[in-house]
Amino acid sequence: MARKPQFDYDLIVIGSGAAGSPAATIATQNGKKVAIVEKDIFGGESPNWGDIPVKSLLHATHLYSEAKDGARFGIRSSTIGYNFMSLKAWKDLAIKRTGAGNNRRYYEKQGISTYASTAHFLSPHEIAINRRHLTAANFLIAAGSYWETPDIVGLKNIPFYTPRDILDITRPPKSLLILGGDSAAVEYAQLFAAFGTKVYIVERAGRLLPNEDSEAGETLSYILKRKKGVEILTETRILSVEKNGTLKKIIYLRGGQEKSLKVDEILVTTGRTPSVDIGLENASVRYTPKGVEVNEFLQTSTKHIFAAGDVLGAKKQTQTALIESRIAANNIFNKQKVAPDYNSVPNITFTNPGVASVGLSEDDCLKRDLDINTAIAPLNIIARSNTSDFRDGFVKIIADRHGVILGATVVAPHAGEIIHELALAVKYGMTAGELAVTPHAFLSWSEAVRVAASRLS
């Protein structure tokens, strides 16, 4: 008589987003019996309400803005307009094309069991879903995070948006206050400003994109103000929010003075809370309100339970969650464990111009007391800036005293593509001299990389 398997599954993945999906697929391809538990929409944030819909609309707004400004190229475009519902239809088509949104059948076709439910650990090897209990030899916690409501007087008493639901609107608001100044905030600012919305950004830090090199935030601020009419309120704290007729009245503190403004809508992009309320204490998994604790191999305090993605703490860009998921799959089933290399993973903000960075920032180097040299190549010194009539941006490279590239920042059209040769340089310890003598095509934006590197060699 055949022995009954000790567990229902070899691996149960909690969460079907970027941090969970690759691991489930890899394990299945290697003959493991796998289940995915998803409490929300299958596919997670990136394809359903994050990267794919936002970037598809940003692409459309870029085309719209370029067309509107076409007169300088001899293009008659002053009467151009848009249909917001058609734009949303384009966004929905982009989501459908990826196949990753609401994709429960995708997993089932691979032979992965799927459960639409909240998972709750009962013991280190057992979870409860709905009214069922499931067991597994291994778990991957990829439960993600959710947008938290800031502790602002009156905010809970009025309707406001988060990136989860802002794209559900039927038309752009006349005015919009965006709370926060990170990548998500500036992407939405540019998106809505392109359609005529008066946008205000409120950020507590002294600049936009506070986690990037200072030049990136300063350049993007200049472009958003000059070209899009965005009002940027840095070093600003919101004191209270209240309803004022059909508008929202915001009381804020800036420069020691209390001021107010009225807007139609509010978008909150500050703060994510990891989804750790899944009975982790029953599985002896250590965690705090800031996230699940893991070692360098993404292994929790319970050796057969791993975690990846936003549930670990700070909001991660999708490429980082994907990498962690693949590494977790390897480490769950292989004795030879590997650690993620975060240093060479690019961060990208999909504005126009885009902002992309990799490796250490100048602030990172100063905090570590590293002896560094930096060089900046403004876009206006390369020929492509003339043929495209775009001159606001730069490439910045940071190298150690031996010329080895430690980090880089790009603010330019197609920054998300340009950054990858710099990521390669960081990953494999290339010197600025080696990068400077690498041929770069004439009339490409990437010529700025060569110029910046040559200034360090």
**Rounded mean pLDDT of 302-318?**
93
Q: What residue has token string 């990521």?
A: 423
Note whether 453 and 426 are within 8 A (CB): no
Buried b (16+ CB within 10 A) or exposed e, 384-416: bbeeeebebbbbbbbbbeebbbbbbbbbbbebb
Statement: residue 64 has pLDDT above 70:
yes
DSSP characters over 363-420: HHHHHTT--EEEEEEEGGGSTHHHHTT----EEEEEEETT-BEEEEEEEETTHHHHHH
Q: Give me the pLDDT at residue 2, please.
A: 52
**Rounded mean pLDDT of 307-324?**
93
Note whether 11 and 24 are within 8 A (CB): yes
Note whether 418 and 408 are within 8 A (CB): no
Statement: residue 77 has pLDDT above 90:
no
What are the φ/ψ torsions at residue 102 (nearest 5 degrees)? 45, 50
Query: Residue 269 carries which side chain, given as an amino acid letter?
Result: T
pTM score: 0.94
How many residues are present in the chain? 457
Spatial separation of the C-alpha atoms in residues 288 and 311, rounded to whole Å: 11
Structural domains in the chain plus CATH codes: 9-44+101-147+273-340 (3.50.50.60), 48-93 (no CATH), 155-270 (3.50.50.60), 344-454 (3.30.390.30)
Task: Give pLDDT tens digits for 151-196.
Answer: 999 999 999 999 999 999 999 999 999 999 999 999 999 999 999 9
For residue 354, give the 3-state DSSP assignment: strand
For residue 221, give the 3-state DSSP assignment: helix
Q: For 225-229, 313-317, 391-395, which range has the lowest pLDDT when averaged over its residues?
A: 313-317
**Please, which pLDDT band fits residue 307 given cuts at 50, 70 and 90?**
very high
**Rounded mean pLDDT of 389-414?**
97
Q: Give me the pLDDT at residue 78, please.
A: 77
Segment (H or E) for 239: strand 236-244
Strand segments (E) across 24-141: 34-38, 113-116, 119-123, 126-129, 132-141
The angle that helices 51-68 and 183-194 make with each other, rounded to 10 degrees, is 40
Statement: residue 5 has pLDDT above 80:
no
Q: Give me the pLDDT at residue 457, please.
A: 86
Q: Is the peptide bond before 47 cis (omega within 30 degrees of 0)?
A: no
Spatial separation of the C-alpha atoms in residues 231 and 255, rounded to whole Å: 16
Statement: residue 1 has pLDDT above 50:
no
Mean pLDDT rounded to a whole number for the chain: 95
Helices vs. strands in the chain: H and E counts, helices first:
13, 23
Q: Give me the pLDDT at residue 135, please.
A: 98
Note whether 423 and 446 are within 8 A (CB): no
**Please, which pLDDT band fits residue 300 given cuts at 50, 70 and 90?**
very high
**Rounded mean pLDDT of 136-142?**
98
Q: Give me the pLDDT at residue 258, please.
A: 97
Task: Give pLDDT tens digits for 319-333.
Answer: 999 999 999 999 999
Instruction: Report percent pLDDT > 70 for the chain.
Output: 99
Q: Give me the pLDDT at residue 123, please.
A: 97
